[in-house]
């Protein structure tokens, strides 16, 4: 049975956490500078004990706008976006 959880809930299998700097992963694996910002929220559907999950993140860009992405579409940035 699947379970839904939010970012910050204990035991939730999120790759990225609130405040992480991320960018959209381009086709070649490089970060997209236009779609970059800070993770502000996320939801995750997962199956406890099995390990399969699907996470969707909400990212706030420097200009204040937002975009959504799944975990596989994002790359962590080591410098501010």
End-to-end Cα, the chain, rounded Å = 38
Is there a domain that residue 35 lies in? Answer: yes
> pLDDT band at residue 50, thresholds of 50, 70 and 90?
confident
How do residues 9-23 score in pLDDT, each as one tens digit? 887 778 899 999 999
Could you tell me the residue range of the domain that residue 61 belongs to? 3-72
- 77: closest CA among 42, 25, 5, 28? 25
Is there a domain that residue 81 lies in? Answer: no
Is there a domain that residue 79 lies in? Answer: no
Is there a domain that residue 45 lies in? Answer: yes
| Other Cβ atoms closer than 10 A to 20 | 16
- 16: closest CA among 36, 42, 34, 45? 42
Instruction: Give the pairing type, strands 3-6 and 31-46.
Output: antiparallel
**Which pLDDT score is estimated for 51?**
67
Is there a domain that residue 80 lies in? Answer: no
Is there a domain that residue 56 lies in? Answer: yes
Number of domains making up the chain: 1
What is the percent of the chain with per-residue pLDDT over 90, rounded to a whole number? 59
pLDDT at 26 over 80: yes
How do residues 35-48 score in pLDDT, each as one tens digit? 999 999 999 887 77
Is there a domain that residue 50 lies in? Answer: yes
């Amino acid at each position: 049975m699947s379970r839904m959880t939010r970012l910050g809930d204990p035991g939730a299998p999120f790759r990225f956490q609130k405040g992480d700097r991320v960018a959209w992963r381009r086709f070649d694996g490089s970060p997209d500078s236009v779609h970059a910002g800070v993770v502000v929220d996320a939801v995750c559907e997962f199956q406890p004990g099995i390990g399969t999950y699907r996470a969707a993140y909400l990212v706030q860009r420097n200009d204040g706008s937002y975009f959504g992405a799944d975990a596989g579409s994002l790359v962590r940035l080591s410098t501010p976006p």
